[in-house]
């Protein structure tokens, strides 16, 4: 008879472009939990050979995540959602937003000024 035990993991949101700045190339890494005690959860790194580490069990179970200071990683009990970078607005969309916010069309001055600044900034940086 097989005594297969379900493997539990601690999860990490990892950016493959961490050295070049966040470019949104995220992956979720799963680090297998090797042991649980009343105070700690022990695990092995899935990316660093067979190195082992541990986290405070009460803190991670209360918050769902913990910052592991030794490796400077944020570990989670459940797989975290991969963040998506918002799509940049086109010049046409920014121009339309500026027109919609114009005071003559029922908008207010502050919103129109902010929309105009966004449009002008995008226009200066557009290729």
pLDDT mean for each 10 residues of the chain (127 residues)? 68 74 75 93 81 92 89 88 78 91 89 91 83
Q: What is the dihedral of CA 58, 76, 74, 41, to 10 degrees?
A: 40
Both 37 and 69 in a single domain?
Answer: yes
Residues paired with residue 36 on neighbouring β-strands, in sequence order: 41
> Which H/E stretch holds residue 100?
helix 91-100
Both 13 and 57 in a single domain?
Answer: yes
Q: What is the pLDDT of residue 27?
A: 85
d(CA 103, CA 114): 13
Both 70 and 15 in a single domain?
Answer: yes
Q: What is the pLDDT of residue 1?
A: 45
Range of the domain at 20: 9-76
Measured CA angle at 58 (ends 64, 32), to 5 deg: 60
In three-state secondary structure terms, 83 is: coil
The model's pTM is 0.58
Count of structural domains, the chain: 2
């Amino acid at each position: 008879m097989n005594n297969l035990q379900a493997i539990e993991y601690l999860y990490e949101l990892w950016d493959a472009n961490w050295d070049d700045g966040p470019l949104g190339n995220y992956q979720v890494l799963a680090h297998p939990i090797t042991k649980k005690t009343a105070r700690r959860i022990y695990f092995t790194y899935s990316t660093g050979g067979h190195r082992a580490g541990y986290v405070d069990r009460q803190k991670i179970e209360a918050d769902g995540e913990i910052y592991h200071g030794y490796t400077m990683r944020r570990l989670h009990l459940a797989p975290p959602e991969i963040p998506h970078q918002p799509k940049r607005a086109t010049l046409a969309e920014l121009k339309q937003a500026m027109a919609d916010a114009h005071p003559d069309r029922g908008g207010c001055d502050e919103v129109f000024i902010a929309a105009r600044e966004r449009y002008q900034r995008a226009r200066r940086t557009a290729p």
